[in-house]
Amino acid sequence: MLIKLLASAFFLILPALSFAQTAERSVTIEADATVKSVDPDTRLIVLQNSETGEEETIVAGPEVVNFDQIEEGDTVKAVYTLGVAASMAFPGEVDSMVELEAQVAEGSTPGVAAGTMVTLILTFVSFDAASSIATVTDSSGTEQMIEVETDVGREFVEQLSPGDRVALSFTEGLAVGIVEK
């Protein structure tokens, strides 16, 4: 009976959810480099960007497991992603931050990944379509003005009413690893 009631409630509210529930934007950048030299004593690695030819020296900290497998001539791939998304906030949702780090298993090909997602819960105040400026208040009550740069973002904001709570999430991630030969 409860499942039937929940299913009925879901179909009753579904039409209310039909407007743009999210507005998202992201960019991913990939770069390859060749290992020019490795110094096991100082853990310094000289990388040469495959596209530009520029060289960069990095220090491989203790979080880089399997360091001893890195050799001159290896190809390193880096993938960086940055994104922002706006959606209706869930009831009771609060500002949050999540950080993730991952390492490869001992003995596997060297690599590391890290990411962060920060979500701010904002209360919608108004939107000026002529200037594409949305006015919101943050969790401390401070009024903020945000330029809405995309059509999908404007479509999302134009459907909001004063007092609506919006979750604005920023994500950033980086993965770096040796490409298998």
**132 has pLDDT over 50:** yes
For position 5, what pLDDT does the model report? 33
pLDDT tens-digit map of 39-49: 999 999 999 99
For position 181, what pLDDT does the model report? 67
R_g (Cα) of the chain, nearest Å: 23
> Measured in whole angstroms, how far is the alpha carbon of residue 25 from the centre of its chain?
10
Where are the chain's structural domains? 23-30+78-179
Q: What is the mean pLDDT of residues 10-16?
A: 37
**74 has pLDDT over 60:** yes
Mean pLDDT of the chain: 86
Q: What is the mean pLDDT of residues 53-74?
A: 90
Rounded-to-integer distance, Cα 170 and Cα 181, Å: 35
Helix-strand-coil split of the chain, %, nearest 5? 15, 50, 35
**8 has pLDDT over 80:** no
Rounded-to-integer distance, Cα 170 and Cα 118, Å: 5
Token pair in block for residue 73: 């001539």
Q: What is the mean pLDDT of residues 84-97?
A: 94
**106 has pLDDT over 50:** yes
Rounded-to-integer distance, Cα 146 and Cα 68, Å: 48
Of 161 and 107, the one with more pLDDT: 161
Rounded-to-integer distance, Cα 157 and Cα 86, Å: 9
